[in-house]
Amino acid sequence: MAGKGRQHGNGRKKHRVVIVDDHPILRQGLAEIIEHEEDLEVCGQAEDAAEAMEAAASLEPDMLIVDISLKGSSGIELIKQIKAQYPAMPVLTLSAHAESLYAERALLAGARGYITKHEATDEVIKAIHRVLDGQIYLSSGIAETVVSRLAAAGSARGGSPIESLSEREQEVFGLIGQGHGTRQIADKLGLSVKTIETYRANIKEKLNLEDAHALTNYAIQWVSSEKHG
């Protein structure tokens, strides 16, 4: 499916963008930034995976901007769904996570870019244009680490035990490492406390950790190493 960019005013094509994020205020702020660009327009917004897939089908945008953390589903899984149905659809991932492994998984899922939410406005616009031009864009703080990890993956795939976790388990693990408690994580991801407790138990088993204290310490160390590695 190809986007139907529209001609406006001076004859330049306006690239149509759909924003997928479960925070209305963030969606609106990002939309205002994009609408200031003469060659960009926001043709739709979605707050979850179902709305995003509907928007991709009905609006035929030129690209999607997807938050990696969505209530009820993982942004990574959404990217996989989008690429499965619309292989040519470029996706830029916008995330609060500065850890490189999130960016790596987004790229492996099919995203063409990964930018953190704390980036300056001009960097966000640069990322959008870069992805629309068929290139890959990564936030400068994680670019080198991601490239190194992907380069090493070909010869030493599976070196990190974290890679054994599912997308959602890794998301929970990262939030644990950022200091969030079980209820905070449940609220953030739009899941029940019982579900998060199940994820925690699965993570402990997969990583061979004895108890909750060991899990928390390991998660904190991993987040710290990702930020500085």
Render each residue's pLDDT in the chain as its tens digit; 229 residues: 445 555 555 556 899 999 999 999 999 999 999 999 999 999 999 999 999 999 999 999 999 999 988 877 788 889 999 999 998 999 999 888 776 778 888 888 889 999 988 888 889 999 999 999 989 898 877 776 776 665 555 544 455 678 788 888 988 998 998 889 999 999 988 899 999 999 999 999 888 888 888 888 888 888 877 765 5
DSSP state of 66: E
Residues 63 and 125 in one domain: yes
Check residue 229 and give its pLDDT: 54
> Is the CB of residue 54 less than 8 Å from the CB of residue 78?
no
Residues 138 and 168 in one domain: no
Q: Is residue 1 part of a domain?
A: no
Q: How far is 28 from 79, CA to CA, in rounded Å?
A: 21
Residues 87 and 49 in one domain: yes
Residues 125 and 177 in one domain: no
Residue with tokens 């899922």: 109
Residues 177 and 145 in one domain: no
Residues 187 and 80 in one domain: no
Domain boundary residue among 133, 152, 171?
152
Check residue 1 and give its pLDDT: 45
Check residue 6 and give its pLDDT: 58
CB atoms closer than 10 angstroms to residue 97: 23
Residues 14 and 74 in one domain: yes
CATH number where 148 lies: 3.40.50.2300
Residues 95 and 171 in one domain: no
Domain boundary residue among 118, 152, 186?
152
- Torsion of the alpha carbons at 164, 184, 201 and 81, rounded to the nearest 10: -40
CATH number where 183 lies: 1.10.10.10
Give me the phi and psi of 44, to 5 degrees please: -175, 160
Q: What is the domain range of residue 36?
A: 6-152
Residues 148 and 167 in one domain: no
Residues 60 and 78 in one domain: yes
Check residue 136 and give its pLDDT: 87
| Phi-psi group of 215: left, alpha or beta (phi > 0 → left; psi -120 to 50 → alpha; rest → beta) | alpha
**Cα dihedral 62, 60, 68, 152 sign:** negative
Give me the phi and psi of 95, to 5 degrees please: -145, 150
Domains identified in the chain, total number:
2
Check residue 155 and give its pLDDT: 46
Domain boundary residue among 152, 187, 202?
152
Full-model pTM: 0.67
> Is the CB of residue 169 less than 8 Å from the CB of residue 222?
no
| Angle, in degrees to the nearest 10, between helices 100-109 and 75-85 | 20
